[in-house]
Amino acid sequence: MTDQIAHPDSSGEGSHSDIEFRPSADFSMAGEGPRDVAIVFMGDSLVAGVGDPKGQGWVTRVVGRTSHPEVEFTAYNLGVRGQTSGDVLTRWHTECPPRWKSRSERRLVISYGANDIAAGVTLARHRLNLANILDEAASTGVSALVVSSPPTSDEAFNDKLAILVEAQADVCARRSVPFVDCFHPLLGHDQWRSELAASRDGHHPGQAGYGLIAWLVLHNGWNEWLQI
């Protein structure tokens, strides 16, 4: 499947042209002093950490384990419950720039998916929304990383989610954007299933479940992406 990105034409309407494979954004590092890195996390309720009694979620756990003596990190969690890929596409244009202002390195972590299925967003539209974010980020010097949604306790829902996760992986692969698969490693995972069984909705895990997501992110190219 070929992803397309909308470009405004002279009439103000959106037209479409094929996207060629492009690597994730490169950027220059400061020659002297510590690197100044701003990381913005955008996505849905799982990014926000809903259901974690400790209020940390996976984002805070990842940030808490990310350090380097020559790097100064500033992290922003912009997860919003119920958000779809379209919501994030609209929101990142206005919410990310203020967090990146005056920072020498700009990083974007995207994680969503389940709400697209619940809202009836088509797979083609989901791909396009993700492609738009990644291509716009790359064109403005922002380095992106994508984290997939984990499985739920609903098998029928998971069948749809598996297709969506594969689409996300493909969109990222076409652009050499790092992709962390949290779906397949946790599908059938005993502790993950126990977390969902104890939850109110079968979707948001507790403390241990968010720890599992954090572990997957940290051990699947996180430091390499940050170049630390």
Flag whether 16 is in a domain. no
The β-bridge partners of 14 are 8
158 within a domain of the structure (yes/no):
yes
Helix (H, G, I), strand (E, B) or coil at 147: strand
Question: What's the pLDDT score for residue 21?
Answer: 36
Instruction: Report if residue 17 sits inside a domain.
Output: no
Residues ≥6 apart with Cβ < 8 Å to 134: 24, 144, 146, 171, 172, 175, 177
Tens digits of residue pLDDT in 167-179: 999 999 999 999 9
Q: Which two tokens stand for residue 118?
A: 């619940």
How confident is the model over 215-225, as a mean pLDDT?
Answer: 98
Domain count, the chain: 1
| 206 neighbors 52 (Cβ within 8 angstroms) | yes
Q: Is residue 10 part of a domain?
A: no
Q: Kindly report the backbone phi and psi dihedral angles of residue 145, in degrees, each rounded to the nearest multiple of 5, phi listed first.
A: -140, 140
Tell me: pLDDT of 138 over 80: yes
12 within some domain: no
Q: Is residue 133 a part of any domain in this protein?
A: yes
Average pLDDT, the chain: 90
Does residue 65 form part of some domain? Answer: yes
**CATH classification of the domain holding 176:** 3.40.50.1110
pLDDT digits (tens, 9 = 90+) for 54-109: 999 999 999 999 999 999 999 999 999 999 999 999 999 999 999 999 999 999 99
Q: Residue 105 gets which letter from DSSP?
A: E
Q: Is residue 21 part of a domain?
A: no
The DSSP bridge pattern shows strands 143-147 and 71-79 to be unpaired
Asked if the model's pLDDT at residue 215 lies above 80, the reply is yes
Residue 64 domain boundaries: 33-226
Report H helices in 65-154.
85-100, 114-119, 123-139
pLDDT of 20 above 50: no
